[in-house]
Amino acid sequence: MSTARLQKWFPWALSPIICNGPMIGAASPAMATEVTKAGGIGFLSCVFDVNPDSAQLTKLEAELVEAKTLLGGSDAGAGAAAGPLRVGVSFITGHSSIGHFSSTALPIIVKHRPAAVWLFAPAASPDQRGPHGAVISALRKSLPAGAGPRVFVQVGNVGAAREAVRDGADVVVCQGIDAGGHQFRRGAGVVSLVPEVRRMLDEEDEFSSSDVGLLAAGGIVDDKGVAAVTMLEAEGVVMGTRFTVAEESVYPDHRKQLILHTVDGGSSTLKSPFHDQLNSNALWGPLYDGRAIAGPIHEKFLSGTSLDECRKSLKEDYSAEESVRMINTWAGTGVGLVRKAQPAGEIVREVREGAKAHMRKIAGHL
């Protein structure tokens, strides 16, 4: 395992490479740029609506402009020879509008030239092939060879990783089931997922000429977690829960406080489609569920109360404020290790240097 390929593509990044997850409602231009300045790879918040009149695309363009300003205005100039803007953007590709990507989202990417584009959660299709191949092909054709963004594809099992590489992904983000937020229903933990995807990339003839990076995600919140997945041959990590409480996070304060005071993530969080079913959220199809901190309404559901009864209870038994606070605080099983709010750049530096110290310590015991 070597981080050389990622450091070639992202020359400001330091090993082990740390990225913030592109979390809706938490990631911000300030977070992404501070992660980048600290030697990580920063990502802006996900977009899912790419319709021609999408307010999300208007917001994305504004955030790219803000990111350039926060990075000092030196990133991404005119012409193909100029360097990329040192942040990434992200798209949830299961939304019905994804067919508009080339006409609506792609021009924004070509104009602002983010260094990376992250794709996740294509809808299930009868032939089991999603839109990522077409999206990646459009990205490749949008700028001269070598000048376009590197494409990250988030996966939760080996089959999805194989499809991602066939579609042309530069980086597969292997998200284990300990992750907070949305993920594959039929996934694996990083301890088995990362090595099996690594073996697929290294040993299967189909991928012998592929140059694909591998990042680990899911339950990784500190330096020990980073050191552990580095030994599994991940080239870097993506952290979500840890960054939700960063000073630059736009997660509401009540959600930050809940994360900081929650322990025992295995029992205090719930991985289930229930979170979205409760809100009648149709964005996430049958391939995906999510992990969030559980509250009284989740306990009712787990004790046998029906979905309809839970929906009714949420409206009738709690105030509007209580209902909002009780649901959709997305967090992974590592939440019990998240104990303090910090600047995003400090998180990156602390975790990276701590991971290297742990790896040196382990090597010294051998």
In tens, the pLDDT along 48-104 reads: 999 999 999 999 999 999 999 999 975 654 444 568 999 999 999 999 999 999 999
Q: Within this chain, do residues 273 and 145 fall inside the same structural domain, yes or no?
A: no
Above 90 in pLDDT, residue 293? yes
Distance, CA of 244 to CA of 329 (rounded, Å)? 10
Beta-carbon contacts of 134 under 8 Å, excluding residues fewer than 6 positions away, are 101
Question: What's the mean pLDDT in 130-139?
Answer: 94
CA distance readout (Å), 325 to 197, 254, 262, 293, 341:
38, 7, 14, 11, 19
Q: Within this chain, do residues 142 and 99 fall inside the same structural domain, yes or no?
A: yes
Q: Within this chain, do residues 137 and 201 fall inside the same structural domain, yes or no?
A: yes
Pairing of β 181-184 and β 85-92: unpaired
Domain count, the chain: 2
Q: Within this chain, do residues 186 and 278 fall inside the same structural domain, yes or no?
A: no
Is 208 among the domain residues?
A: yes
Above 80 in pLDDT, residue 129? no
Q: Within this chain, do residues 139 and 265 fall inside the same structural domain, yes or no?
A: no
pLDDT band for 147, please (50, 70, 90 cuts): confident
Name the packing angle between helices 158-167 and 190-203 (round to 10°): 40
Q: Within this chain, do residues 167 and 233 fall inside the same structural domain, yes or no?
A: yes
Q: Within this chain, do residues 130 and 205 fall inside the same structural domain, yes or no?
A: yes
Is 75 among the domain residues?
A: yes
Q: Which of 182, 275, 298, 358 is catalytic?
A: 182
Is 130 among the domain residues?
A: yes
Distance, CA of 315 to CA of 245 (rounded, Å)? 28
Give the global pTM.
Answer: 0.95
HSE on the CB side for 333, CA within 13 Å?
15
Which structural domain, as residue segments, surrounds residue 350?
Answer: 3-251+340-364
pLDDT in tens, 158-198: 999 999 999 999 999 999 999 999 999 999 999 999 999 99
Name the packing angle between helices 101-112 and 55-70 (round to 10°): 10
Active site residue 182: yes
Q: Within this chain, do residues 357 and 279 fall inside the same structural domain, yes or no?
A: no
* Kind and range of the H or E run holding 311: helix 307-316
pLDDT band for 126, please (50, 70, 90 cuts): low
CATH number of the domain where residue 355 is located? 3.20.20.70
Q: Within this chain, do residues 307 and 350 fall inside the same structural domain, yes or no?
A: no
Distance, CA of 284 to CA of 95 (rounded, Å)? 8
Residue type, 41: I
Above 70 in pLDDT, residue 125? no
pLDDT in tens, 20-62: 999 999 999 999 999 999 999 999 999 999 999 999 999 999 9
Is 299 among the domain residues?
A: yes
Q: Within this chain, do residues 292 and 231 fall inside the same structural domain, yes or no?
A: no
Handedness of CA 237, 240, 241, 245 (dihedral sign): positive
Tell me how many degrees the CA angle 59-63-67 measures, rounded to the nearest 5: 175
Is 171 among the domain residues?
A: yes
In the block, tokens 């402009």 appear at 65
Is 284 among the domain residues?
A: yes
Q: Within this chain, do residues 306 and 204 fall inside the same structural domain, yes or no?
A: no
Q: Within this chain, do residues 97 and 196 fall inside the same structural domain, yes or no?
A: yes
Is 334 among the domain residues?
A: no
